Structure 1
């Protein structure tokens, strides 16, 4: 059963949902014919694909630019995009991409292999300091064989390459636009081959995109190869009730940022369509700094995993729409190891108490446990959003019942990432998107990723060896075996605590047809090529 704290939160958010159905919206915009208005709660700091890791950037970049390959709605299948076909050498070191010959940038200039090479070299350049260039693999050389053939040569095999080249960071951009705009590329303008072209950006308010008149090469996952909407306007509406009212009254067309408490009431409105992407991969977890006092005790990490009721947290934060995670990774991800579900500690507060007492953590007079003079208390950092306060307060209450004190400090998005790059906290709560098990573990658990994003400071030779073996595998069997062993090792070490797999829910109004949630790297509509308006 949820704790009293969680019950209070549920009651409060339920009252907010009732209020939203009667409140007059503060959002007041006249809908224009041919314009799709999409609402979201946050903005990005820029829209240069190599400079931002934000989901808020990726969802726009996917509309402004294309990648060599795409990912289907099943989040399992790589499909063509700018590359109509590709070949991989037997040793896994060379990928040869055959490009489409009908692709144009928004400027009307034809895209060639040299543009692909320029985009990748810009991404990988030391001068760019791109935080995502590790995703490109250990690159030896990328070169244009002719105008429509690119050779991508690696120093070592990289089993995850095609999936990584489908992410927005690997977008092909217009060299002329980059040279013209310089540091303002992705801030004051953008040149790409995507279905939409840059019109304007008003930070923290809206991004305006216009249909690319040249675009005919959409990926085969869509029925239409061309965009059906003349203009997209992405507006930032942080307040949940305002967003809910705007969609209800038809002042906006679409969102996948709707607060979970509102979804059930919106399903009952006949003019709205509510869809969920069942294959969405975006998980919440708590990570432990394994080299800090208290967190460096495996028994403490195991007890925390035993003491926290994940099902209650998922219910309270996502109103039954999210799925509590009882394994390190989402069971739907490529190369998920089912054995980790058996190894992950079940919710059992009595077992948590026994684990602590066997490890020498004795209950103090104030109700907090002590071992060798060290109190069982720790500091957790995270981003302040709708769900994190709910989940962390629930976790805090669960831990108090076993004699562990957790202090919570949550920061807004502008301050949080700086704080999370420090060593001043003991644990942290985050969420992240991914498409394969190898990607997830490579991102967070390799020692080369310390101090961020490996904020756990997990430095383990066996983990590195297994992840590298999976990354360099040239056959499925070897890759699955290695990354499965890595998953099991990390679960047994309780390096972090999985909480919930977030839902991807797309709400669209009566003007909208053909919408379908996708969700790669959190981008709900991806290319959006089948979306049309009835007016």
Structure 2
């Protein structure tokens, strides 16, 4: 076996093209806070107090705090405080140790052997060991849990607890994304005993090994956590290895952005995320607040016309729709410089991104859009909307998350732009269940979304019919793209693998399968009393090192 110790992946990381002035300064502030404090002789961290975090959790009616059953970003921002993973993704996008101290990969790259820590236990007092990890991996394969985590394991065949501290994972074929995927929040390790105890209600009673443990949960409203006093197994990226400094950590769902700003300014909470663009510079320039910013490794937020349905199965019509859009203007107007324009599906800092190669690869051209539609027989009606065979050129946009990250504001501007070419865009807002049903039944014209991920294999779960769920808004069935995504799974040469994913992204843009809109920069604002906050390499907040200058009990 070839020994891979701590640095199993060594992919080159291109500096993000969006790290301009303000963004670079803010990111550096978050990353270097602890170092700066130490070098300046700042006070030592204080233990105690409660941090209340105003979470942009959207208009959700329930929290699902089970890593195997929720890929919703706001939930995953809570996961990292409750659950630990086998490995951690470091800032340079190499993989380091966490609950696994080291690992070996067989020459055929189908067997991974992990050496686990001996000193870890779950919040319920039961031991963390190889049997517990095997239970978690096998659980992901259960049909009722077959969400995003299932595809993260790829060709997972089985796992074996060789002894209490040795776990062996067997794959049916090589799967390069495995280690990166095991670092995800959705790969956090749950207590088998708690899952057996709570059954179908486990998502309301999560038990992990993380720096905080659950105290109480009010559905859709509030999650209260308390410090895990036994914690001493933080990842190599942590600012310290012992228990969290905070006594309590509370996540309060505050979906309305102006309310989030108000509760921070009135000190009802000490931190918020999803800072509205119009308040971004205000907080940055106010000495009473601190702002942290980090690019979320991500499939960028983008638009996708339903290519399984006429007229969107016609590439020319899709091209006309895109040509009527001025994405630069939309992003500038909505985000006021707090989020950059996206040119590719993968965020600029993610390994395999084609953002640089696709920069300025197309431009808005209203005249071209109108010419295409004229040629296709879509005639402008009296109200400016085009008609063909008695049918209006209507684009029904389906949504279920409201205006999280100002996404509906984006769609409102999209509506104005495409109307100039003769498209009539309507918004169909649905609760989650109805949304999934309508997506599965192709009862929509346009969808939009993003997907956080530490590996470019995220493209497979979105754009390959073999890898995506029926409830995915992407309905592309392109055999060439599907084959490339299969090739990317097995290729272990970093340069060749990156080239594969860049090729996929070029075709997605060339065929107008998707229209990337913006790169998500995760922003957190805090009062000046909050110290030691960090954001991990994947763009999720870490509270284990947070301490309060003035305790808030």
Q: TM bucket by the smaller chain?
A: 0.7 to 0.9
What is the CA-CA distance between 1:155 and the residue it aligns to?
0.6
Closer, same or farther: CA 476–73 of 1 in aligned 2, 3 Å: closer
Aligned equivalent of 1:25: none
Unaligned runs of 5+ in 2: 1-46
User: In structure 2, which of residues 488, 498, 502 is the aligned counterpart of residue 470 of structure 1?
Assistant: 488
Mapped contact 2:88–2:98 kept (Cα < 8 A): yes
What is the CA-CA distance between 1:481 and the residue it aligns to?
2.8
Paired residues for 1:251-270 under 5 Å: 251-270=268-287
After superposition, the C-alpha distances for 1:283-326 in whole angstroms (9 at most, x for unaligned) are: 32111111211211101111222221112221232222011112
Aligned equivalent of 1:171: 188
SS in 1 for 2:209: coil
The answer to whether 1:494 aligns with 2:509 is no
CA distance in 2, matches of 1:311, 1:95: 45
The answer to whether 1:335 aligns with 2:352 is yes
The answer to whether 1:90 aligns with 2:112 is no
The answer to whether 1:208 aligns with 2:224 is yes
| Structure 1 length-normalised TM | 0.87
Aligned equivalent of 2:548: 533
User: In structure 1, which of residues 163, 186, 192 is the aligned counterpart of residue 208 of structure 2?
Assistant: 192
What is the CA-CA distance between 1:220 and the residue it aligns to?
1.2
Unaligned runs of 5+ in 1: 1-31
User: In structure 1, which of residues 54, 59, 63 is the aligned counterpart of residue 77 of structure 2?
Assistant: 59
User: In structure 1, which of residues 403, 406, 410 is the aligned counterpart of residue 429 of structure 2?
Assistant: 410
Q: Which runs of 4+ in 1 moved over 6 A?
A: none
Mapped contact 1:437–1:483 kept (Cα < 8 A): yes
Query: For structure 1, which segment, 350-359 or 51-60, has the greater mean C-alpha deviation from structure 2 after superposition?
Result: 350-359
Aligned length: 498
The answer to whether 1:435 aligns with 2:454 is yes
Mapped contact 2:215–2:226 kept (Cα < 8 A): yes
Aligned equivalent of 1:220: 236
The answer to whether 1:271 aligns with 2:258 is no
Closer, same or farther: CA 182–176 of 1 in aligned 2, 3 Å: same
Mapped contact 1:328–1:340 kept (Cα < 8 A): no
User: In structure 2, which of residues 308, 320, 328 is the aligned counterpart of residue 311 of structure 1?
Assistant: 328
Query: For structure 1, which segment, 137-146 or 106-115, has the greater mean C-alpha deviation from structure 2 after superposition?
Result: 106-115
After superposition, the C-alpha distances for 1:382-404 in whole angstroms (9 at most, x for unaligned) are: 23215122111111111111122
CA distance in 1, matches of 2:291, 2:188: 30
Closer, same or farther: CA 72–255 of 1 in aligned 2, 3 Å: farther
| Structure 2 length-normalised TM | 0.84
Closer, same or farther: CA 45–245 of 1 in aligned 2, 3 Å: closer
The answer to whether 1:158 aligns with 2:161 is no
Query: For structure 1, which segment, 59-68 or 411-420, has the greater mean C-alpha deviation from structure 2 after superposition?
Result: 411-420
CA distance in 1, matches of 2:468, 2:343: 26
Aligned equivalent of 1:300: 317
Closer, same or farther: CA 451–143 of 1 in aligned 2, 3 Å: closer
CA distance in 1, matches of 2:225, 2:141: 28
CA distance in 1, matches of 2:129, 2:74: 29
Aligned equivalent of 1:4: none
CA distance in 2, matches of 1:142, 1:63: 26
